[in-house]
């Protein structure tokens, strides 16, 4: 079994910084604002002869608001899952009443607790740990996560003996599925429904999710990595620094994923922000599945109007499957996986040169290229230039003069004849060199 270690503490003591240092990644969002981390974030650590799973958690507080309670609940779940707990305090701030309450709670958990004093750069170890002994835990350690100091000693302290158990890595064969959309359209609710558990925090207030949460999932022997992302609002409405970083993480998740599951609120419809985000997904060349959420409870007239509006606004992504679902009640959610698999298979489909050239000739018979200064544009042959998304390279003469309408016709023709659903087709044109020039 792979050891599991959770990092807990009050807000803004450096838990996410330590998580990123141990996993050698930037998966956890880091800002100077307390409460940036809200959901559990899992990562794999491989340092020297030690391998284990690390869990980053939100700050445990006494706040009575609903979001604060949910953050604390997520941290408590991480404590239950973990075998060992890293209890982190701020060496420069000293021991606070919140630290004492967390210490009492951790003692009742019955887990092995390792007290770590962070932000000790520039301080002598004796001074940095002077207040730490007040909490009653033996052998506290002084580290500086921001300066990567003391981390090897921390790992050796956690595991005196080598942990050689391999960590199963299904990342290479897993389909990365990013769940994206505007704020408050039900992305986290959909994530929990697909997982079958309350894995991420769900609240009515917009912007509850701040970080991009990577969650492994296996369904019918197919591995997925679900990425629950923060909602993207209009730039003029974004003022807080954490939300700006959250949007950046969302855009990075889109760039890294294989398929984007775009969630739309059926009762609001498609907004300008939705269209911009869809445009970014197309620019990145990612597979696309559209989920129209909150379909339950709508009257038949409202549904007909919503469908007509969606068909009009989403005409430029006709290749994407559209599902009408209810993430809250689960209706239609299971069908999403079939479309995700189809989009991934289409995006990674191998295309032969002979097939593409034959289809190119059929396309020219169906609709001839235009005349340019009295000469017909000649498209000679086509071959594959890559996949995910499918990239087709067409060679010919005067291809620079082809109008955009004909390029769109070719993209749609190849998409239809190759039976590619859920993925855009990128076409590049190359002109032959004139040997007499």
For residue 53, what is the enclosing H or E element? strand 50-56
**Residue 108, SS3 per DSSP:** helix
34-43, 92-101, 320-329, 402-411: segment of lowest average pLDDT: 34-43
Give the CA dihedral 58, 62, 68, 71, nearest 10 degrees. Answer: 30
Q: Are residues 402 and 325 both part of a single domain?
A: no
Buried b / exposed e across 277-298, counting CB within 10 Å, b at 16+?
A: bbebbbeebbbbbbbbbbbeeb
Which has the closest alpha carbon to 259: 348, 170, 351, 169?
A: 348
> For residues 287 and 281, what is the distance between their CA atoms, to the nearest angstrom?
8
Which whole number is the average pLDDT over 201-216? Answer: 65
Q: Assign residue 426 the CATH number of its domain.
A: 3.30.300.20
* Per-residue tokens: 263: 């969630």
Query: Which pLDDT belongs to residue 348?
Result: 93
CA angle 106, 109, 110 (to 5 degrees): 105
Q: First vs last Cα of the chain: how many Å apart?
A: 69
| 39 shares its domain with 65 | yes
Over residues 331-382, the pLDDT tens digits come to 999 999 999 999 999 999 999 999 999 999 999 999 998 888 788 888 999 9
Residues 77, 103, single domain; the answer is yes
Number of domains in the chain: 3
- Last residue in a domain, options 102, 129, 158: 158
Residues 191, 276, single domain; the answer is yes
Closest CA to 388 of 333, 426, 417: 426
Flag whether 187 is in a domain.
Answer: yes
Report yes or no: 9 and 34 within 8 Å, Cβ to Cβ. Answer: no
pLDDT band at 172 (very low <50, low <70, confident <90, very high): low
Same-domain status, 21 and 87: yes
Kindly state whether residues 188 and 292 are assigned to the same domain: yes
Alpha helices, DSSP H, located in 61-96: 66-81
* Whole-structure pTM value: 0.77
- Of 99, 127, 158, the residue at which a domain comes to its end is 158
**Pair (136, 204) in one structural domain:** no
Domain around 340:
175-347
For residue 170, is it within any domain?
no
How large is the average pLDDT for residues 43-57? 86
Judge whether 394 lies within some domain: yes
Q: Domain check: are 304 and 206 in the same one?
A: yes
Q: What is residue 63's predicted lDDT score, i.e. its pLDDT?
A: 66
Q: Half-sphere exposure of residue 46, counting CA atoms within 13 Å on the CB side?
A: 8
pLDDT of res. 205? 54
> How far apart are alpha carbons 191 and 163 in whole angstroms?
32
My answer on whether 130 and 273 are in the same domain is no
Q: Record the tokens describing residue 101, joined without a space.
A: 């309450």
Given a cut of 80, is residue 244 above it in pLDDT?
A: no
Clarify whether residues 340 and 408 are in a common domain: no
pLDDT tens, position by position, 225-237: 998 887 776 665 5
Domain boundary among 300, 326, 347: 347
pLDDT > 90: what percent of the chain? 39
Residue 321 CA to residue 435 CA, distance in Å, equals 47
- 288: helix, strand or coil: strand
Q: Evaluate whether residue 123 is within a structural domain.
A: yes
What confidence tens digit (pLDDT) does each residue in 118-141 have?
998 888 878 888 888 888 888 889
CATH number of the domain that residue 224 is part of? 3.40.50.300
Beta bridge partners, 371, equal: 376
Closest by alpha carbon to 200, among 173, 229, 242?
Answer: 229
Residue 163, domain member (yes or no):
no
Residue linked to tokens 């050796």: 156
Residues paired with 180 in a beta bridge: 262
Two tokens, residue 167:
């960590």
Q: What is the pLDDT of residues 7-22, one digit of tens each?
A: 999 888 888 899 989 9
Which residue's entry shows tokens 């709670």? Answer: 105
Contact 157/165 with Cβ under 8 angstroms? Answer: no
**Same-domain pairing of 326 and 384:** no
pLDDT of residue 202: 64
- 267 in a structural domain: yes
Handedness of CA 266, 269, 275, 277 (dihedral sign): negative
Answer yes or no: do 342 and 198 share one domain: yes
């Amino acid at each position: 079994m792979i050891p599991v270690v959770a990092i807990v503490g009050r807000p803004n003591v450096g838990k996410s910084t330590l998580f990123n240092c141990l996993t050698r990644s930037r998966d956890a969002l880091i800002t100077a604002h307390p409460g940036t981390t809200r959901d559990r974030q899992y990562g794999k650590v491989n340092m020297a002869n030690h391998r284990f799973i690390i869990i980053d958690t939100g700050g445990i507080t006494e706040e009575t608001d609903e979001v604060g309670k949910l953050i604390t609940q997520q941290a408590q779940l991480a404590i239950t899952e973990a075998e060992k707990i890293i209890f982190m305090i701020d060496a420069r701030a000293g021991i606070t009443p919140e630290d004492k309450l967390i210490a009492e709670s951790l003692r009742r958990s019955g887990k092995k607790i390792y007290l770590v004093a962070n932000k000790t750069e520039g301080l002598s170890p004796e001074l940095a740990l002077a207040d730490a002994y007040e909490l009653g835990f033996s052998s506290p350690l002084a580290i500086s996560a921001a300066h990567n100091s003391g981390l090897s000693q921390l790992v050796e302290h956690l595991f005196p003996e080598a942990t050689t158990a391999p960590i199963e890595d299904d990342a290479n064969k897993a389909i990365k599925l990013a769940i994206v959309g505007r704020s408050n359209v039900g992305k986290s609710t959909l994530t929990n429904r697909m997982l079958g558990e309350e894995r991420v925090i769900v609240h009515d207030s917009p912007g509850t999710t701040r970080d991009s949460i990577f969650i492994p999932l296996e369904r019918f022997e197919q591995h997925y990595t679900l990425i629950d992302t923060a909602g993207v609002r209009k730039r003029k409405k974004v003022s807080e620094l954490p939300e700006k970083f959250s949007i950046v993480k969302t855009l990075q998740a889109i760039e890294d994923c294989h398929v984007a599951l775009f969630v739309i609120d059926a009762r609001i419809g498609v907004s300008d922000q939705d269209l911009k985000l869809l445009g970014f997904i197309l620019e990145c060349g990612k597979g696309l599945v559209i989920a129209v959420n909150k379909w339950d409870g709508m009257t038949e007239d409202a549904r007909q109007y919503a469908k007509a509006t969606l068909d009009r606004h989403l005409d430029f992504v006709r290749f994407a499957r559209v599902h009408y679902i209810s993430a809250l009640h689960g209706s239609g959610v299971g069908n999403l996986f079939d479309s995700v698999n189809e989009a991934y298979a289409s995006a990674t489909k191998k295309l032969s040169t002979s097939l593409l050239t034959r289809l190119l000739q059929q396309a020219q018979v169906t609709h001839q290229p235009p005349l340019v200064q009295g000469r017909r544009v000649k498209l000679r042959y086509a071959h594959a230039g890559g996949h995910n998304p499918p990239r087709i390279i067409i060679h010919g003469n005067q291809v620079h003069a082809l109008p955009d309408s004909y390029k769109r016709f070719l993209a749609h023709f190849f998409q239809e004849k190759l039976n590619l659903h859920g993925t855009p087709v990128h076409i590049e044109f190359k002109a032959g060199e004139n040997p007499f020039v």
